[in-house]
Amino acid sequence: MKRRDFGQYCGIARALELVGERWALLIVRDLLVRPRRYTDLQSGLPGIPTNVLSTRLKELEQAGVVERRVAPAPQRGVVYALTPVGQDLEPAVLALGRWGSAQLGEPQPGDHVSVEGVTLNMRAAFQPGQAEGVTASWEIRAHDIVLHAVLTDGKLESGVGPAPEPDLVITAKIDEDALPSFRAIVTAAKSGLVELTGRKKLLDTFLRVFTTPRPA
Using the rule CB under 7 A, give the single segment among 32-40, 86-94, 182-190, 200-208 that binds DNA: 32-40
Half-sphere exposure of 82 (CA within 13 A, CB side): 19
The residues in 160-199 that bind a copy of itself, with binding defined as CB under 8 A, are: 179, 181
Which whole-number Å values give the CA distances from 213 to 100, 126, 183, 186, 216, in the listed order? 11, 11, 11, 12, 9
**Would you tell me how many other CB atoms lie within 10 Å of the CB of residue 173?**
12
Which partner in DNA, a copy of itself, none is near 14 (CB below 5 to 8 A by kind)?
Answer: a copy of itself
* 110 binds a copy of itself, rule: CB under 8 A: yes
Candidates 12, 15, 50, 132: give the one binding DNA (CB under 7 A): 50
For the bound state, the minimum distance from the C-beta of residue 83 to a copy of itself, rounded and expressed in Å, comes to: 10
The whole-angstrom separation of Cα 167 and Cα 211 is 20
Residues 55 and 1: beta-carbon distance below 8 Å: no
| CB nearer DNA, residue 8 or residue 197 | 8
The whole-angstrom separation of Cα 138 and Cα 158 is 9
The whole-angstrom separation of Cα 197 and Cα 37 is 33
| CB nearer DNA, residue 5 or residue 195 | 5
Q: Rounded to 5 degrees, what are φ and ψ at 59?
A: -65, -45
The residues in 50-89 that bind a copy of itself, with binding defined as CB under 8 A, are: 63-64, 84-85, 88-89
Candidates 51, 70, 103, 129: give the one binding a copy of itself (CB under 8 A): 103
For the bound state, the minimum distance from the C-beta of residue 17 to a copy of itself, rounded and expressed in Å, comes to: 8
Identity of the amino acid at 177: D
Residues 170 and 194: beta-carbon distance below 8 Å: yes
Q: Which residues bind a copy of itself (CB under 8 A)?
A: 5-16, 18, 20, 22-23, 25-26, 29, 45-47, 63-64, 84-85, 88-89, 91-104, 107-108, 110-114, 117, 120-121, 124, 179, 181, 216
Q: Which residues bind DNA (CB under 7 A)?
A: 2, 4, 21-23, 37-40, 47-52, 54-55, 57, 68, 77-79
